[in-house]
Chains A and B, each alone.
Chain A
């Protein structure tokens, strides 16, 4: 049981290049999330997917797109990378975002460190 996996672990891009960050979970979770973590700041939500087939914007969605490929996989795409997108990116999953009483624990992947030159 691998939990939440992310690829790649590290990536260096030049300004204007595109790339896709991959995330997969094997816990049969319905909800998945993408966060970014910048120095001196907590994690901020970029996009989330409450269930397969749905996606919604979070706090900082500009410059990103997402795809919920199936129940297991949730990818994050940078179409034209900018230096301001240099950050550590975390994917997370939880059983559900809605419809389940109680706070839902989010399980996090190991992160992707992205540098845009």
Chain B
């Protein structure tokens, strides 16, 4: 079974600064996908960024980027130029894939990190 661990229950950052959220995972699989989801106070789950394990290049989406270290089983999220709207709970999640790259579709989530952006 897979496990996902987020060791930072809470983080805070000043507006316009950069913050990094940590995530580690444990799996015996070689092919998988990793995700960061954002959950603002509205409770809506929003996909922030996705990484395929077979890709060495780190994924980026505008101000969001990841540092994917497959050997270390680490998947951190960096938020640059933090904005007040980034205040939310952030979840790291893992999805299995078989050898052909097809996914089984089941997400395993970490416990979440509450990020507060201060003006």
Question: Interface-forming stretch among B60-68, B71-79, B101-109?
Answer: B101-109
Contacts of A45 in B (CB 8 A): 106-108
Q: In this complex, which of A42, A96, A106 has the most chain B Cβ atoms within 10 angstroms of its Cβ?
A: A42
Whether A101 pairs with B101 at a CB distance below 8 angstroms is yes
Number of interface residues of A (CB under 8 A): 31
Contacts of A101 in B (CB 8 A): 100-102
| Chain B residue nearest in CB terms to A100 | B102
**Minimum-distance CB pairs A-B, first 4:** A97-B105, A42-B109, A103-B33, A108-B45
Across chains A and B, the number of contacting residue pairs, with CB separation under 8 Å, is 74
Chain B residues close to A by CB (< 8 Å): 4, 33, 35, 42-47, 50, 52, 91, 93, 95, 97, 100-112
The answer to whether B102 touches A98 (Cβ under 8 A) is yes
- Binding site secondary structure of chain A: loop
Assess the A90–B103 pair: CB atoms within 8 A.
Answer: no
B52 touching A40 by the CB < 8 A rule?
A: no
Given that A90-B45, A98-B102, A101-B102 are known contacts, is A41 also in contact with B107, CB under 8 Å in the complex? Answer: no
A8 interface residue per 8 A CB criterion: no
Report whether A100 and B103 are in contact in the complex, using a CB–CB cutoff of 8 Å: yes
Are B106 and A97 neighbours in the complex by a CB distance under 8 Å?
yes
Q: How distant is A35 from chain B, measured CB to nearest CB, in Å?
A: 8
Question: Whole-angstrom distance from the CB of B91 to the nearest CB of chain A?
Answer: 5
Measured CB to CB, the closest approach of chain A to B55, in angstroms, equals 11
A48 near B106 (CB under 8 angstroms)? yes
